Amino acid sequence: METLTADDIEALCLGATLLGTGGGGDPYIAKLVAHQALETYGPVKVVNAADLPPEALVLTTAVIGAPTVILEKIPAGTEYVAGVKALASYLGKEPAAIMPIEVGGCNTLLPIATAAEMSLPIVNADSMRRAFPQIEMTVFTLAGLPAGPLSVADEKGNQCVFETTTNHVAETLARTAVIQLGLANSISCYPLTAAQVAQHAIQGSLTYCMEVGRLLQDVKDGNNGAWERFLSESGSREFFTGKVMDLDRRTTDGFARSTVILEDLDGHDATMRIEVQNENLIAFLDGEPTITTPNLICLLDCETFEPITTEALAYGNRVLVIGMPCAPEWHQEGMLDLVGPRAFGYDIDFVELSA
């Protein structure tokens, strides 16, 4: 993949919705923004970090907030470029490329629109290969790379830049700011050199996102053997088919949290409970943890195979629950402390996807 054009957005959007694991923000508006940017400013060049000068500055951009608010608060479209420029100005150096901090939800597509508007290439990498709710939850943190300095910008022109001592502090300061600014803002964090990105990022994330999207589109189109190919090539497993019987939603501390109860549709007397903090985190089958973070828990509509975001989920939805493996780069020392169940306050052990 050497360039991204408007024709690539549908597959990217479908893959991003799936990899968002219910969160990452509904990509629909971001899809429109990216599509318009590519039509207005032209294709975006896709580069590998290793092909950039080692000291070149790579900046990220993303939406930060609660998905339920992001769904209702349409972006102005100016805040993402503004956030990148604010951080670049603070650093006193122009960026050579833009990179998505996560390949999941709208944060896959908004960096593409930003890169198009700024006439910059986009790096085929990210730090999660899924979506996570907190700034520090990246493979960069495992590598000891700082999230700051970082910038936050809103749609009204307000901007702030933080110097932070740890990535956990970066999350706290940024979350506090966005609570005051309306819970749907832009952030630019992890200002890194191309050499750091090449060494520590999850490479090929945009390509992976598009490939997964195309595999799922084949399923949606009803092509023979498409579902089996999707499961095999993505390493995914079916775990449950159920109907939403209860849904408890709340927005607290700048996050959209919910508990989803599914009743079995396959004739078994079984129940699945899914705990959510922006993203689907843990799936319990009859009270036992079955799929746990950092592996992905994805809900698909039983009939259309469309991935369902947490804010779109509703009572009565009939869904297929699948588990997808997290990126191999997560399997290193410190993973469970950073993104395992206990990192989110659940006193349970990580469950291997094959278990």
The reported pLDDT for the residue numbered 311 is: 85
The reported pLDDT for the residue numbered 23 is: 87
DSSP one-letter string for 307-330: B--TTT--TT-EEEEEEEPPPGGG
Least reliable range by pLDDT among 249-253, 287-291, 344-348: 249-253
pLDDT tens-place string over residues 80-133: 999 999 999 999 999 999 999 999 989 999 999 999 999 999 999 999 999 999
Q: What is the spatial distance between Cα 275 and Cα 216, in angstroms, rounded to a whole number?
A: 25
Mean pLDDT of 254-259: 85
Sequence-ordered list of residues with C-beta below 8 angstroms from that of 152, at least 6 positions apart, any chain: 64, 83, 159, 160, 162, 174, 177, 178, 181, 185, 186, 187
Percent above pLDDT 90 for the chain: 87
Q: What is the spatial distance between Cα 286 and Cα 288, in angstroms, rounded to a whole number?
A: 6
Q: Indicate the pTM of the whole model.
A: 0.95
Cis peptide before 294 (omega within 30 of 0): yes
pLDDT tens-place string over residues 146-180: 999 999 999 999 999 999 999 999 999 999 999 99
Domains of the chain are 3-205 (3.40.1610.10), 233-344 (2.40.390.10)
How many alpha carbons lie under 13 Å from residue 233 in its C-beta half-sphere?
A: 17
Asked if pLDDT for residue 41 goes beyond 70, the answer is yes
Q: What is the spatial distance between Cα 21 and Cα 55, in angstroms, rounded to a whole number?
A: 34
The DSSP call for residue 287 is T
pLDDT tens-place string over residues 297-324: 999 999 999 999 988 999 999 999 999 9
